[in-house]
Chain A
Amino acid sequence: DTAVSQTPKYLVTQMGNDKSIKCEQNLGHDTMYWYKQDSKKFLKIMFSYNNKELIINETVPNRFSPKSPDKAHLNLHINSLELGDSAVYFCASIAGGGGAFFGQGTRLTVV
């Protein structure tokens, strides 16, 4: 039973399109994150939600809009996709005391 699951695993789309990535965790954690991993494997934090409330927004373009319908879900919607958005996006769920549990990632390719 997957602790943090993301869908889809791969996403190929054209510039200008709008797409969403879904994330669900069954660990009962209150805090979830979105990270972006670029081609050099650098992991950059994008957003963090705690119990459905946004607590961290790392100056991400407003084309990116996270939505948390409940504390087990944190979805990422991206408008007007650009070539530079191509990356692997990871969802993570974090427990108090540290330690993040990551999803398998969504590889987004914008063509």
Chain B
Amino acid sequence: AQSVTQLGSHVSVSEGALVLLRCNYSSSVPPYLFWYVQYPNQGLQLLLKYTSAATLVKGINGFEAEFKKSETSFHLTKPSAHMSDAAEYFCAVTPGGGATNKLIFGTGTLLAVQP
């Protein structure tokens, strides 16, 4: 079975500071991993995805994530936070690339950006 654990339900950073949102996964088969962002009263938007190619994945809005098999981690980072980054972030896992495979979400991390 697959699962993801997001450490820290709330993260607060200052504008311009490094953003680090943590995600650890559990999967019995090579996983595909995703980060999504949800702005208030909106749907989820795909930030980036790992699909067994390059371990360092770059996404939209300056975010990137690194797949570390030895640590079963897929942490999301951004060098410099903007006020507009304040949102809920979700890590998700699916076993492999089939569209019919279950996409399982973590519990989310709310990112607050202080001026």
Report which A residues bind B (CB closer than 8 A): 4, 29-31, 33, 35, 40-43, 45, 48, 50, 55-56, 90, 92, 94-105
Number of A-B contacts (CB under 8 A): 72
Inter-subunit contact A105/B108 (CB<8 Å): no
Give how many B residues have a beta carbon under 8 Å from the other chain's beta carbons: 27
Flag B54-96 by CB within 8 Å of A: 1 or 0 each.
Answer: 0000000000000000000000000000000000101010100
Inter-subunit contact B46/A100 (CB<8 Å): yes
Inter-subunit contact B100/A31 (CB<8 Å): yes
Inter-subunit contact B42/A105 (CB<8 Å): yes
Report which B residues bind A (CB closer than 8 A): 32, 34, 36, 38, 41-46, 49, 51, 88, 90, 92, 94, 97-100, 102-105, 107-108, 110
Q: How far is the CA of A31 from the CA of B49 in the complex (A)?
A: 18
CB distance from B111 to the nearest CB of A (A): 12
Q: Check A99/B46 contact, CB under 8 A, given A41-B88, A42-B108.
A: yes
Inter-subunit contact B99/A90 (CB<8 Å): no
Q: Is the interface of A mostly helix, strand, loop or mixed?
A: strand
